[in-house]
């Protein structure tokens, strides 16, 4: 079983979406964690858009990356440039991946326009996670 850490700035949206989808697609092939350089709490809109796609992340917590420094990760995925630039050093041989997803928490407009941006980013994260699992966790 592989250990995967998804890292972003606040561990509130993008990394939470990725954790949910990686757990879904990887099944028992990986243990998935998510963390932030900071902790901002899990965004209620992230919980809502994942529920719309049948994945419950309402039990997720917002965690600081320092909590996981002693876990031997096989893969580290940064999902924003800030996390990629400020990621702490993890000992051991771990493969690092980076994809800068837009931050849906910064969306502006009507409530429906904001939710539309959350759905758009959710779908981008879903595609990335499905592809990641196929490439790196295939039997």
% of residues, the chain, pLDDT over 90 = 81
- Which is catalytic among the residues 50, 65, 80, 121? 80
Q: Is 8 a catalytic residue?
A: yes
Place of tokens 């757990």: 23
Number of domains making up the chain:
1
Distance CA 79, CA 91 (A): 20
Q: Determine how β-strand 95-98 pairs with β-strand 2-8.
A: unpaired
Q: Report the predicted TM-score, pTM, of the whole model to 2 decimal places.
A: 0.93
Q: Is the pLDDT of residue 45 over 70?
A: yes
Smallest CA-to-CA distance from 19 within 1, 3, 39 is with: 3
Which CATH number goes with the domain that contains 47? 3.40.50.2300
Distance CA 105, CA 6 (A): 17
Structural domain harbouring 41: 2-136
Q: Is the pLDDT of residue 139 over 70?
A: no
- Which is catalytic among the residues 8, 17, 35, 129? 8
* C-alpha torsion angle, residues 20, 73, 81, 122 (rounded to 10): -10
- 100 pLDDT band, cuts 50/70/90, is very high
What SS3 state is found at 113? helix
Longest dimension (CA), the chain: 46
- 84 pLDDT band, cuts 50/70/90, is confident
Average pLDDT of the chain, as a whole number: 93
């Amino acid at each position: 079983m592989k250990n995967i850490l998804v890292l972003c700035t606040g561990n509130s949206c993008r990394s939470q979406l990725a954790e949910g989808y990686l757990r879904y697609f990887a099944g028992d092939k990986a243990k998935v964690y998510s963390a932030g350089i900071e902790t901002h709490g899990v965004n209620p809109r992230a919980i809502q858009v994942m529920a719309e796609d049948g994945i419950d992340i309402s039990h997720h917590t917002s965690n600081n990356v320092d909590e996981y420094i002693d876990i031997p990760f096989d893969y580290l995925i940064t999902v924003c440039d800030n996390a990629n630039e400020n990621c702490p050093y993890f000992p051991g041989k771990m493969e690092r991946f980076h994809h800068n997803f837009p931050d849906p928490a910064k969306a502006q407009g009507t409530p429906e326009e904001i939710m539309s941006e959350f759905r758009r980013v959710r779908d981008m994260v879903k595609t990335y996670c499905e592809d990641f699992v196929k490439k790196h966790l295939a039997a």
